[in-house]
Structure 1
Amino acid sequence: MEPKKNPKSNLEKDLTLYFMIGLVAVLSMSYTAIEWKTYDNVITCPINPDFDTDMGEIPPMTFQKLPPPPKPKIQAPPIIEIAPDDEEIIETVIESNEPDQSTEIVNYTDIDVADVDEPEEIPFSVIENVPIFPGCENATNQGTCFQEMMQKHIKKNFHYPELAKEMGLQGRVNVIFTIQKDGSISGIKMRGPHEVLEREAKRIISKLPRMTPGKQRGTPVKVPFAIPITFKLQ
């Protein structure tokens, strides 16, 4: 047996009506809230009838007479003086110093020629005539002979210092010296790993014999020369 629904209990029958009533109520409250106006409390002060509104006698208006403005200063026009005429300027004629047919030709023997200043010191690699080591006077290549004789001199006078052997010192000492204009040796400078080796290198170079000085254009000049001396323990 199916249960029968009472048509009076249908809740959806007036749903649209209730929705429209609620919508109108919400819009009315919203409009009222927006248009609601409030006013500040105005405090009114009663007018005291006994208040004296008479401000007294109004002083009369006075007018002060100002002094007239100062008159503008008018400067006198400048006095124009007529300057005397300039003196006549005599122009100086500059004669040309260019040679022409009437120019006298100077004899070339009357012209002093300045001596060419040669530097006092010229490196061994660029000098015209290298210093001549004793025994290389008749050598074909005196530069190569100079190098060979230097090596022979070092080997002949080489002595390994005992202190250097005890300390285990070894290395290369770079030596540079100057062959003077008279062929003597001077200005010995050393740079090596230890002072003991430097002293021995200086002793060897100081024993070099006097040489024939190097020449540049026939004039004796100072010639610096550098050579390494190697100290090596066996």
Structure 2
Amino acid sequence: MKYFAILFLMLVFPTANSQESKASGKIVPFKLVEQPPVFEGCEDEDRDCTLQKITNFFVMEFNRKVLPDNLEETDLAIKIILDEAGALTWQRIATDSPEVEAEAIRSLKVLPTLTPAMHNGTEVGVIIDFAVKLGYGDLADSQVDTPPFPDECKSSEVKKECLSKFIQSFVNKNVEIPKVKKGGHFAELSFVIDAEGKVAEIKVTGETEKLNRALLTVIKKLPQIHPATKNGQKVPYPLRLPIYIEKR
């Protein structure tokens, strides 16, 4: 009977401690945490802004060279945990491709540290679920009702294609590169068209630093663009485009 009592205590107390640990709220679901983590540029308690910024960051960081050639788009379901300091500590990606998983993990690991979440007056970790659709062209069509567009594309029925052509034309007309090699230059632009229709978070990957600087300068001069919309609200829109600089 004595041994039975000892065994009973050994079994019961770890369970109680485990329940107490879960109840302490050290890791709280993103949708339930009282004060969500804050991504730079978002207001306090703006849950939607933080989630959109995390999604945009991942979409822009992800290298599409690992995507299967026979697919136009790849869906990813992602779970991450941010600790009490707002730093990424765990991630899980639902995919059948080891290459896509490895690149997704790499992209998540460079996520900047966020302002920590708060729950019951204490900094806590949060678990966040989000989904992305990755492709080689426009990155966010599945997340918006209407993509962004310039005035020139207002009447177009294919606004994303019109936007891409507009940017390509604008860059070629305005970029200042004294010597363009035979056959032209290739580069890749990634940026966000924010909820005000302005260009932000610009990244340029070109053949030379000189080309990168020239493209960065011209992209900053893009005219005002009508922002993307979802459910009647203006929302940020990440974009990644291959650019060809024609021989002059």
TM-score by length of 1: 0.44
Between Structure 1 and Structure 2, which shows a larger proportion of strand residues?
A: 2
Between Structure 1 and Structure 2, which shows a larger proportion of helix residues?
A: 2
Greater Rg over alpha carbons, structure: 1
TM-score by length of 2: 0.42
